């Protein structure tokens, strides 16, 4: 698999996309998922509060964030490292999305008359050369759906009011590009993805000499003098240190086509998830990382061994379960630490049970037991035939299930018909709709629509949204018959 062969993950969660294909699969995978993602705590609400008000507030907040927030990508790196080429290739591949490029170069300060006279002594690679406040103002408006006017800096007069400003409309994706775009924490906090283009210093210098002498008509001696006096020190002091903030490091810039293809694929996945989340505030897709994408790649690979399929499925299931537990109510609790200090924390929900939809859902039981000691787990068996023929065959549920919060387990949400029947049974047993959290690994949009329209107060927690269903009502791209692959009963 190309995806796994190209990723090397560091202990601090940053990934490097190299150009070689020589990494062994097992070695790459082990590096890929060495550091496990932590527990997700989102969607908490206090007990003994008005549930309708809490739900309304959460729905309103979620809808506002999803509708108004574009996907922001930061692209940093040294001068002539290939940042513009990377940005152009991402924009080209996202041709069906609204994408806008915002260059940090547009936000240089106007030079004073005194600075203009000594322009060759002015350091354009220093953080103080940029009007970061204006950049933040522009980004704030774009993120809130407002059109903006971005200045066009003139490098002859060194002013930003010579040319008409560039009108930019709100977009699905905003790419922020610049040598020091990671330098300011406030700008970094705007970004959903941070890319550092890492190119050899000799290559960058050669590109700069060619660009400045051919395109700008400068003397090579002047170019080298400026490089040694300003460019290289600024890179070492200000640009290179921001490399540690990058989520992804791309060697060779625009020449690394495979790395850019993977990045675009990841962006498309995130944008697709946002579309459904805009419609249904009760849908929660856990934050996608290259670690999660790598595990998905393994369990979707038809050539993966049963051992690998089970191992990485269990890892993903554990993440989904932890995220689902984060949506349970909690109460505040104070404890005394071994140092005699008081720690104010939370106490987890005690009235909880799991219900697995036989048989694939049983694969999720171990992860739930590992997270919730002694939890009761019920079972529901539904006979499935095609798109419609759903028949309840068997159910065994805790007698007091109506007093509990229920985690419904099924790794794949396809048509949604089995889920609707299972949820209907739980509600018939007295479980409030808002007390049900449906956990699965992958979800088809058709199934999300069906479940959310029938039960708008049931929370769905999943790790990825699929493309859809084929003519046989199978999830695509999917991962095959999950139960057969997990329990070793497939034909292979």
- 25-34 pLDDT per residue, tens: 444 444 433 4
DSSP strand E in 200-270: where? 248-251
Residue 214 confidence (pLDDT): 81
403 within 8 A of 431, measured Cβ to Cβ: no
- pLDDT at position 112 is 92
Closest by Cα among 80, 9, 23, 1 to 249: 9
In a domain, 47, yes or no: no
Q: In the predicted model, is pLDDT for residue 475 greater than 50?
A: yes
pLDDT in tens, 296-344: 999 999 999 999 999 999 999 999 999 999 999 888 889 999 999 999 8
Residues 257 and 299 in one domain: no
The mean pLDDT value of the chain amounts to 82
pLDDT of residue 274: 59
Do 78 and 28 share a structural domain? no
| Residues 147, 168 contacting (CB under 8 angstroms) | yes
Percentage with pLDDT > 90 across the chain = 52
The range of the structural domain enclosing residue 3 comes to 1-33
233 shares its domain with 294: no
16 versus 245: the higher-pLDDT residue is 245
Q: For residues 246 and 323, state if they share a domain.
A: no
Residue 185 resides in a domain: yes
Interatomic CA distance for residues 423 and 458, integer angstroms:
9
In a domain, 195, yes or no: yes
290 and 407 co-located in one domain: yes
468 and 337 co-located in one domain:
yes
What is the per-residue pLDDT for 388?
A: 53
pLDDT, tens digit, 9 for 90 and up, residues 423-454:
999 999 999 999 999 999 999 999 999 999 99
Do 208 and 81 belong together in one domain? yes
Q: What is the mean pLDDT of residues 482-492?
A: 82
Residue 287 has pLDDT above 60, yes or no: yes
Query: Domain check: are 25 and 121 in the same one?
Result: no
* CATH number, residue 160: 3.40.50.300
The number of distinct structural domains making up the chain is: 3
State pLDDT tens for residues 159-203. 988 899 999 988 889 999 999 999 999 999 999 899 999 999 999
Q: How many whole angstroms separate alpha carbon 77 and alpha carbon 88? A: 15
User: Is residue 173 domain-resident?
Assistant: yes
- The tens digit of pLDDT for each residue in 61-117 reads 333 333 447 889 999 999 989 999 999 999 888 875 678 999 999 999 999 999 988
At residue 472, the pLDDT reads 87
**For residue 138, is pLDDT > 70?**
yes
Residue 131 and residue 182 in one domain: yes
C-alpha R_g of the chain: 26
Tell me what pLDDT residue 11 has.
Answer: 33
User: Are 292 and 258 contained in the same domain?
Assistant: no
User: Is position 229 within any domain?
Assistant: yes
CATH of the domain at 422: 3.40.50.2020
Is 149 a member of any domain? Answer: yes
- CA nearest 440: which of 407, 471, 467? 407
pLDDT for 98: 79
314 and 247 fall within a common domain: no
State the Cα–Cα distance between residues 234 and 228, nearest whole angstrom.
10
Give the model confidence (pLDDT) of 379-408 as tens digits: 999 876 554 546 778 899 999 999 999 999
pLDDT in tens, 349-382: 788 999 999 989 999 999 999 999 889 999 999 8
Distance between CA atoms of residues 308 and 306, nearest Å: 5
Domain contains 107: yes
Q: Indicate whether 436 belongs to any domain.
A: yes
| Same domain membership, residue 207 and residue 127 | yes
Distance separating alpha carbons of residues 16 and 14, to the nearest angstrom: 7
């Amino acid at each position: 698999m190309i995806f796994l062969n190209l990723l090397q993950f560091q202990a601090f969660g940053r990934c490097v996309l190299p150009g070689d294909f020589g990494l062994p699969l097992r070695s790459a995978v082990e590096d890929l998922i060495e550091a496990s993602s932590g527990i997700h705590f989102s969607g908490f609400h206090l007990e003994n509060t008005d549930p309708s008000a809490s739900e309304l507030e959460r729905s309103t907040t979620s809808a506002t964030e999803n509708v108004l927030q574009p996907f922001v990508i930061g692209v940093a790196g040294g001068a002539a490292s290939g940042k513009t080429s990377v940005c152009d290739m991402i924009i080209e591949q996202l041709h069906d999305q609204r994408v806008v490029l915002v260059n940090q170069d547009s936000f240089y300060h106007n030079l004073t008359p005194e600075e203009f006279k000594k322009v060759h002594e002015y350091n354009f690679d220093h953080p103080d050369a940029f009007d970061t406040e204006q950049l933040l103002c522009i980004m704030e408006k774009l993120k809130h759906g407002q059109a903006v006017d971005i200045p066009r800096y003139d490098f002859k007069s060194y002013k930003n009011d010579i040319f008409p400003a560039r009108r930019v409309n709100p977009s699905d994706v905003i790419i922020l590009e610049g040598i020091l775009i990671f330098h300011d924490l406030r700008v970094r906090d705007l970004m959903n993805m941070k890319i550092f283009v890492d190119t050899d210093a000799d290559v960058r210098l050669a590109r700069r000499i060619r660009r400045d002498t051919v395109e700008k008509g400068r003397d090579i001696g002047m170019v080298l003098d400026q490089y040694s006096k300003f460019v290289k020190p600024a890179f070492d002091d200000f640009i290179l240190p921001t490399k540690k903030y990058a989520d992804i490091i791309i060697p060779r810039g625009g020449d690394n086509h495979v790395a850019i293809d993977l990045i675009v694929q990841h962006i498309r996945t995130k944008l697709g998830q946002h579309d459904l989340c805009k419609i249904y505030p009760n849908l929660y897709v856990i934050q996608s990382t290259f670690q999660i994408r790598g595990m998905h790649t393994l369990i979707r690979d038809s050539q993966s061994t049963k051992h690998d399929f089970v191992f990485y499925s269990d890892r993903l299931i554990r993440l989904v379960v932890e995220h689902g537990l984060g949506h349970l109510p909690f109460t505040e609790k104070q404890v005394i630490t071994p140092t005699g200090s008081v720690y104010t924390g939370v106490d987890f929900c005690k009235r909880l049970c799991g219900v697995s939809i036989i048989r694939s859902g049983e694969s999720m039981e171990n992860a739930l037991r590992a997270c919730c000691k002694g939890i009761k787990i019920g079972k529901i068996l539904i006979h499935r035939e095609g798109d419609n023929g759903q028949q309840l065959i068997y159910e065994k549920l805790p007698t007091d299930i109506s007093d509990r919060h229920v985690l419904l387990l099924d790794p794949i949400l396809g048509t949604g018909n089995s889920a609707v029947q299972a949820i209907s049974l739980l509600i018939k047993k007295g479980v409030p709709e808002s007390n049900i959290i449906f956990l699965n690994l992958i979800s088809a949009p058709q199934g999300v629509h069906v479940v959310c329209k029938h039960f708008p107060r049931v929370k769905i927690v999943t790790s990825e949204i699929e493309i859809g269903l084929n003519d046989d009502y199978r999830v695509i791209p999917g991962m095959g018959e999950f139960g057969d692959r997990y329990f070793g009963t497939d034909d292979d």
